[in-house]
Structure 1
């Protein structure tokens, strides 16, 4: 809340100090105004001019003395309350703790901090970037001493800090005329804030996190929920170069090479981009904030909207900024501390619900979802083709929401503990995945037919010493995946894409493989039939078809899916014949949703590999190496499951052709 949690004086004493400070401020202002007015209220006679000038100088001296005295008293009070170390003061300036040393000064919370802001204009003190106490004292001094009102005054440039200090020190009498800020705030008329979540965008992997922004409702938009043209969108996104390639865009976003871009624009424009242009369903979540907290957040937005901080795709992004706004007005908590590796929009929505910060939620179907609803339910002849009409007003659709509400999703991170066997060789496996959702994972809360997994590590411990199978008594890295994803756009649905071959997939990983070219080569050192850890890149493009019965009254796609994807592959490793192989082939598969808790996936991969010509008759230059894989998962609850997987190498002469494992899956 905005109330102070760190006062060290009794309430009566604080009230006395605040009352004294207020009286002094009033006395100072009245004395200055009163004496100034008396000097100009009458036309002084020439003989009395020197006396008048002397009187004016005396009044200015007294006013200056009063201001100095008031400033010192307020600084003393601020020190007694330890305001420089207050979470709100630190967060208003983006201070981060850089030192854990236990010197006496650091124990008081006055050093060991550094602000993320590099703009010198953001601070009043020259030492303000690294000294919260110096910045606090300079801010108090400037607020009291600065005689010039208007947009360039400290109070007008930093309304959130000024308001907070007024609450803490009793400076209700310090008023400033701020036409720019007042006009900005009156135009927005902020009365309620909501988080807007646009689902992950299947055809642009860089948006796989989804996107969040803040909806600013005004008096007019609250009076008429359809009147979204009276509301605004507060959006924090990356100010990237649209001419950069996808790879450069992703790298620059990940490493802070682009600045963040905070914009406030009409809400219908932003909502239409998601629903009509990108065909992304949208959920909104009303935040449980007081009127005072809403106003303070908007004051803080005003003084930080032009900072252009570096944008980091994983940590400093659209979702983290929303949490930071809430943390500024809720100093007793720290939502951002809940995330260390990445701030993901869907995780943020779940955290807000967990913390009791969501009042209600609303669903807005994309144009493609409405079109699919008409395919699912031909009787819905009067269903609108869009959730927004030509007058930028909301249109009621009364559809059953698609099952992509992030509040219903499993947690992003996943760990699997497995027991398995490769031929007759047993092993234990431990696997971790950073995110997001795979074909066997519970689909609720994620875009239908969009699978993206990142940050996968799997270790296997084998226990077998049979020489004819190689020495498997060791721990082996089975998989290290940077990215693996597929997006299916079934040709018989409203989300069929722009072409027949609109389904695609990509993977970038290191993985254990069998090299079929070596199966007759007994001259090579070591075990010719052992696995090799290879760096692998693959890309798929193909067609998919959906079938089955979707949820009644919804724009959900049919739950079952089959696909045929052409694929190109490249792998490198010292263990491979000639150190590399390239391949092309086809992947055929189906996914079947047996019920809400059980899924089955089957696939056959048929790659044709080529190593380059060779003079060794015992090594194959090229060959087919088909692999059949099957998988099933049963969900125990939203964040626990049992999984069974198996694969079989259809090429003869390879040891370890079959691989079966049973796993316990935990999402967290």
Structure 2
């Protein structure tokens, strides 16, 4: 009872502030302002009007504020004049970016002054001054990271001078996952919007360790030309989005798209999100920011794996064996064979062995033996230090081709002429222009091809839902598995010489070896499950192989590949193919393909095709 009386007394004693009457036409005008629309994350609805990307009712003050920017604006003005005794729950404290803008636009000089202690302490700790767009490169072994990622680093004023960027804060948007979903379920729910997405603000050093060490991903840091005022305005809006949920989709409403929205809050004149009506691949969004003239200096942070390989590159085969021996057993440091190495070569071996130990420790529980070996290696390094490590910087990821691809080709299959028309939503295969992409990496999503034969006969040639191939070369120090997985519809040889459209899922694993700086050889064992109307069973399994060569030459990329599937029902299917692409420009290629198919159901078939590939987003 006493608490209720105290609360009533506080309300009576609190100064009253009446919201001014704002002309409805002024409300309508301000509600259509790009900055207000950016603060509410509004986008035009399909059937007219507006809808907000925010899927959390806590973000809105008006009952239908998610669809009516004018109602949300009017409700916000009223809420700004609520009694100041609400403290941190006051609208001015919850929505500082809205408050700043409406105060300036409407000349609100008589607002109450609540004590927004939580916000002011949070903002002071961050002290936003400079913005850096960070791009962790693609990491094929994680479904959530196949296309790379983007986040924003917020530096304090002295970060550059004092070299304290590691102490900065990072703004990240990602899927909020409860439970332990497996990779397949994660990929499906990510495609279908089954996870909520939320903004978070974490220490940059934590994200650096996660991407550079745990996931072995290179990081690119793009310093943006946002002013301190623009950076501060963006950080204010991040406070408004704390614990606020969005729908999350891998291909459009993802990390990169949300960060583009933040940049438009920082600088309302930008028009970044309108460039991505269908998909928002991280590398494409980096290009959009760069094309907007916002990027200055670019820094590169290599992953632990790349640093290890760079240190081991000048070592010969015997020296690399010493790396393995010393990393496993530090007593080898005293062996006559190791001491017989020249001092400068021992220094390189020691440094490579230490880096190998730290690489192996990634993601593992602390091990006393490994810790002791690392200490012994560090002591030896201090007595015989190696030269500074110089890691060659790869090509900029945004300099690669655009992600969406149109394909038009003409060819002949067993004497029958055809035209082929294709569309791939994303984003790279083994023969595409490798500039900005690792050699041996392939990620394709929704790749459809239609074929028109003589006599105006049309057919679906293939529809790949997803194809992922990771051909990472093995070496003396690291022995990664190469793997691939694909699924969808494709034409295969059928009975009586015709072609049958089948649905399938297949994958495989094996090894890849570096034959030269620009040549890879790979060999994988494969399994396949297929639904084929020519077969009596509903589903027919097969085991097989996939091997070949990939050569990056002066014209483009050449791939020679042999594949085979041996079904339990007796069907044997083999393919031998050759593909060479000529790079006419960064976003235009000409590809020649030749293929010979074999099947137990019919005779062999030959096919040759020349196609033009145009990349854009």
Question: What's the TM-score, normalizing by structure 1?
Answer: 0.76
Q: In 1, distance between residues paired with 2:538 and 2:62?
A: 61
After TM superposition, the structure 1 = structure 2 runs for residues 619-638 of structure 1, keeping only pairs within 5 Å, are 622-638=570-586
Q: Which residue of 2 aligns with 1:544?
A: 512
- 1:265-344 to structure 2, matched below 5 A, reads 265-344=202-281
Q: Which of residues 634, 647, 651 is equivalent to 2:595?
A: 647
Distance in structure 2 (CA, Å) of the matches to 1:396 and 1:211:
30
Is the 1:200–1:447 Cα contact (8 Å) retained in structure 2? Answer: no
Q: 2:472 aligns with which of 476, 484, 489?
A: 489
- Check whether the contact 2:532–2:538 (CA below 8 A) recurs between aligned residues: yes
Match status 1:533 vs 2:501: yes
Give unpaired runs (5+ residues) of structure 2: 1-12, 316-344, 363-373, 376-386
The aligned residue for residue 88 of structure 1 is 35
Q: Distance in 2 between matches of 1:494 and 1:638?
A: 35
User: Deviation string for 1:588-616 (max 9, x for gaps)?
Assistant: 21111123x422110111221232xxxxx
Q: Are the counterparts in 1 of residues 55 and 247 from structure 2 also a CA contact under 8 Å?
A: no
Structure 1 residue 418 and structure 2 residue 409: aligned? yes
Conserved 8 A contact 1:458-1:478: yes
Residues 229/129 of structure 1: CA separation in 2 closer, same or farther (3 Å cut): same
Richer in strand (by share): 2
- Which moved further from structure 2: 336-345 or 362-371? 336-345
Structure 2 CA distance, aligned partners of 1:262 and 1:241?
A: 16
Secondary structure of 2:474's aligned partner? coil
Offset of residue 346 of structure 1: 0.8
1:200–1:208: 8 Å Cα contact kept in structure 2? yes
Report the TM-score, using the length of structure 2 for normalisation: 0.82
- State the match for 1:514 in structure 2: 493
- Say what the alpha-carbon RMSD is for the aligned residues: 2.9
Structure 1 residues 302 and 537: alpha-carbon distance in aligned structure 2, compared to 1, 3 A threshold = same
1:477 has 2:460 as partner: yes
CA deviation profile, 1:538-585 (whole Å, cap 9, x unmatched): 111111111213xxxxxxxxx211011111112112244556532212
Separation (CA, whole Å) in 1 of partners of 2:198 and 2:53: 16
Q: What corresponds to 2:328 in structure 1?
A: none
> How far 1:396 sits from its partner (Å)?
8.4
| Structure 1 residues 626 and 80: CA distance shift in structure 2, 3 A | closer
Structure 1 residues 422 and 302, CA gap change in structure 2 (3 angstroms): same
- Verify: 1:594 aligned to 2:573, yes or no: no
Instruction: Say whether 1:431 aligns with 2:430.
Output: no
Q: Which has the larger radius of gyration?
A: 1
Query: How far does residue 351 in structure 1 lie from its aligned partner after superposition?
Result: 0.8
Q: Measure, in 2, the Cα distance between the counterparts of 1:639 and 1:96.
A: 30
CA distance in 1, matches of 2:197, 2:476: 37
* Inter-CA distance 360–153: structure 2 relative to 1 (3 Å threshold): same
Match of 1:399, SS?
coil
Separation of aligned partners in 2, 1:451 and 1:495: 21
Distance 1:566 1:440 in 2: 21
Change (3 A) 1:490 1:79: same
Question: 2:142 matched to 1:207?
Answer: no
- The CA distance in 2 between the partners of 1:278 and 1:494, in whole Å, is 18
Aligned-partner Cα distance in 2 for 1:444–1:423: 35
Report the Cα distance in structure 2 between the residues aligned to 1:342 and 1:118, rounded to whole angstroms. 20
What residue is the counterpart of 2:295 in the other structure? Answer: 358
Deviation, structure 1 residue 651: 5.2
CA spacing shift, 1:458–1:127, aligned 2, 3 Å:
closer
Unaligned runs of 5+ in 1: 1-59, 102-111, 465-472, 519-527, 550-558, 612-621
**Whole-angstrom CA distance in 1 between matches of 2:243 and 2:474:** 45
Contact 2:128 2:155 survives alignment (8 Å): yes
2:612 alignment counterpart: 664
Partner of 1:150: helix, strand, or coil?
A: helix
